[in-house]
A = this chain, B = another copy of it.
Amino acid sequence: MASQQSASAQASADFVFGTFATDELRLARLRAERRGLVHAQRITPADPLPGDEVHISVSIGPDIAADHVACYVTNDGSDPQGERGHAHIGQAVLLTHSHIEWDTLVWGYVSYWVAALPPQKDGTLVRYRIEAWSEHGSAHWACEIAGVVGGDPPDDLDPADANLFQIPNSPALWPVRRQGSYAYHVDQQHVPDWLRDAVIYHIFVDRFAPDAGQPFATPGSLSGFFGGTLRGTLERLEYLNDLGITCLWLSPIFVSPSHHGYDSTDYGTIEPRLGTIDDLRALIHGAHACGIRILLDYVVNHVSSAHPIFQQAFADPNSQAAEWFTFTKWPDQYLSFFGVTDLPQINSDAAPARQYMIEQAKFWLEQGIDGFRLDYANGPSHAFWSEFRAATCAVSVESVTLGEIVETPVLQRSYMGRLDGCLDFILMQAMRQFFAFGTLNVSAFDSFLQRHLAYFSNDYVLPSFLDNHDMNRFLWVVGGDTRRLMLAALCQFTLPHPPIIYYGTEVGLSQANDVRRPDGSGYAEESRSPMLWGAVQNAELRSFYKQLIALRRSAPAIWRGPRTTLTIDDANGLYIYRCGTGQPSALVILNIGLDTQRVQLPEHTGYTLALTSDPASELHQTMCLLPQYAGVVLWEQ
């Protein structure tokens, strides 16, 4: 029974990477990335400092015959323009040929070109575009995929893109490319320390807490309104403070017709169902008073089709509003979020749209919030985020930007210097494979962790999570077995990046059905049930989470590293690693196997139990006994 549930849930978890779910999609993506003129933000250093020369790299696949490549660059924020090596706005820098590689997937050669852009002073936004041409042929511009449009393929669809967004069980979605406007910001901005130390709690405002004394509404469907509010959340600050979290991520709170708020019609106003701006200020004030930061969920990629600016664009293709969007065929064909026409996509490179999104973000920072979780951050251009982060850091150097980028680590890493970090979907997938599905063994999980953590720069934060609002809850996936949840959480909290708790996880909140509808018609909101309050909470689980948070906060050595693997026992499902080198260091022992394990500890003066996920665990001097699915943290003296 449990294994059946796991098998179906696994496929669901894998669907997290929907655009990479099948070989066909992966091939289409890789080919599209190799066939044409590609920059893909390949700059060195990845996050330029004042005075750094910046090396850019461009590849040209077999689809393009070019013997010249130029970069047009400005350092005053203006949009660079040029043609065949001559700049009209800014400077032209010619690239030189570097080397050639063979690519078996596209069955052709790819040539690489490079150039150095001059050093800049602190605070400079460097904008650039890249053109390649042949003396005998037409010009090409490096481009990104701008987004997708549903329905018929656009006339100018590159054959290499044809399958790029045919997501399984979805109608065909066709990519549209845009002439790339690239940028990087030269600064000395670093990830604020508070973010590294954070324990983040993620709530759906409508599902977390109604006003004091009120019960949740019972709308009859998880798509309805349950009545959670900002005031209700404020009332529960004591709960959150007692739990020990240090950062609260609110689901979108701006005016929106939906319970989730990812389709706003007004970025300057709080949705009345959820409260008022004064309620938000009160929540910020109350949270800050107990050391809790507030992150808003912010959607730059798209707006509701009911947003007045889209309505103007829809009414008049010659209006300034029309520039905010990308119509492939006005009025009814335009870029939208995965082809959902209710969610038209913003052209983040259009100056008025860009300014609106930046100004609204600044306004909310000025109200006291501490930063943003950025929805579908790979939708807007990289250049947009370079400018966005410079603007938000100018309001507060302590503010943070965390992207949702459900893509490859290569793409996630490319936002280095443009965002403070991104949500760690790859780790989430591996944690679920290891702790929930059993499809990774200890060796593979350890190997993954070592490489994954080393792949990203130290100045880039990857908040960890076991589940979120778009997938099955971890607890449901493991058939309600809290031992496996606690074991996974124990591992999560001893890893370097800040952990996120999805509301209710700490008290046993689960779900009734798979998020995938059995008829294949799409995805339901099963993992967004209302928070459990009072006696229905799992007190044991909550107590464990409270201890876990307290341990992480009081003893940063357990996650700051270095982390050293001591035991990998695939046969027995035993995994042991040491955290820290100092006095004291900690030993983390995880038993993912089927049996109780008797673990002989390394020679040491002595051990004390810091935490266990199972009270039946026993420590006897240098021997530790762990029941199935138990984990312990031991202090080494």
Residue ranges of A at the interface with B (Cβ–Cβ < 8 Å)? 20, 23-24, 26-27, 29-30, 62-67, 100, 102, 104-105, 107-109, 111, 134, 136-137, 408-410, 443-444, 446-448, 450-452, 454-455, 565, 567-570
Contact = CB atoms under 8 A, between A and B. Distances in A.
Given A30-B104, A62-B447, 13 more contacts: A23-B24, A26-B104, A27-B27, A29-B104, A62-B444, A65-B568, A66-B447, A104-B408, A109-B448, A134-B443, A136-B446, A136-B565, A137-B568
B568 A62 contact: no
Contacts of A450: 67
A31 to B, nearest CB: 10
A62 B108 CA distance: 26
A109 B443 contact: no
Give the dominant DSSP class at A's interface: mixed
Interface centre among A100, A105, A134 (most CB of B within 10 A): A100
B568 A109 contact: no
A447 B454 CA distance: 38
A23 B26 CA distance: 11
Nearest to A443: B65
Contact of A454 (B100, B410, B568): B100
Sort A-B residue pairs by CB-CB distance and give the 7 closest, nearest first: A109-B451, A136-B568, A65-B447, A65-B443, A102-B409, A100-B455, A102-B410
A301 to B, nearest CB: 22
Contacts of A570: 137
A65 B26 contact: no
Contacts of A24: 23
Highest count of chain B CB atoms <10 Å: which of A63, A65, A409, A444: A65
Nearest to A567: B136
A447 B136 CA distance: 11
Contact of A30 (B65, B105, B410): B105
27 contacts: A20-B107, A26-B105, A26-B107, A27-B27, A30-B105, A62-B447, A63-B444, A65-B444, A65-B446, A65-B447, A65-B568, A66-B447, A67-B450, A67-B565, A100-B455, A102-B409, A102-B455, A104-B408, A109-B451, A109-B455, A111-B451, A134-B568, A136-B567, A136-B568, A136-B569, A137-B568, A137-B570
Contacts of A137: 443, 568, 570
Contacts of A108: 448
